[in-house]
């Protein structure tokens, strides 16, 4: 089955700096890669996703890149703000299989 590794497990940055979270996956059949943000005590919510036919996607301060050959994808947050502090999960999904495999999460802390 699919195995997703996520790094780092914790990340602390100063407000205004950039943050990068990286994930690798094992199943070459995975073709959809969502990122979820989970604030303390809340549910995971989708913030951005990328499909296997796209190399990069951007939404305001958030961007995701995908390298299918190397089987890794990354989340980039620019101009971080304290409200970006949360746990971020990457996931890899094979739409034929119907399920996503999640990484272990990265706790991002943005210090004001």
- The candidate with the shortest Cα–Cα distance to 75, out of 21, 12, 7, is 21
Q: CB count, 10 Å around CB of 70?
A: 8
The smaller minimum CB distance to another protein, of residues 80 and 93, is found at: 93
Q: Is the sign of the CA dihedral 21, 26, 32, 38 positive or negative?
A: negative
Interface ranges with another protein (CB under 8 A): 32, 34, 42-46, 49, 51, 89, 93, 95, 98-102, 104-105
Q: Which is nearer to another protein, 65 or 80 (CB)?
A: 65
**Residue 67: count of CB within 10 angstroms of its CB:** 11
Residue 88 CB, nearest approach to another protein (Å): 12
Cβ proximity to another protein, 14 vs 43, nearer residue: 43
b/e 11-48 (16+ beta carbons within 10 angstroms → b): bebeeeeebbbbbbbebeebbebbbbbeeeeeebeebb
For residue 26, the minimal CB distance to another protein (Å) is 16
Least distance (Å) between residue 51 CB and another protein: 6
Least distance CB 76 / another protein (angstroms): 20
Whichever of 44 and 108 has its CB closer to another protein, that residue is: 44
């Amino acid at each position: 089955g699919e195995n997703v590794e996520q790094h780092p497990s914790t990340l602390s940055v100063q407000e205004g700096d950039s943050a990068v979270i990286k994930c690798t996956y094992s199943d070459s059949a995975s073709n959809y890669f969502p990122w979820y943000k989970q604030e303390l005590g809340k549910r995971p919510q989708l913030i951005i996703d990328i499909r296997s036919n796209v190399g990069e996607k951007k939404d305001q301060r958030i961007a995701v890149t995908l390298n299918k050959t190397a089987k890794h994808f990354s989340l980039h947050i620019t101009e971080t703000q304290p409200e970006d502090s949360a746990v971020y999960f990457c996931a890899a999904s094979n739409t034929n299989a119907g399920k996503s495999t999640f990484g272990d999460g990265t706790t991002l802390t943005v210090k004001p």
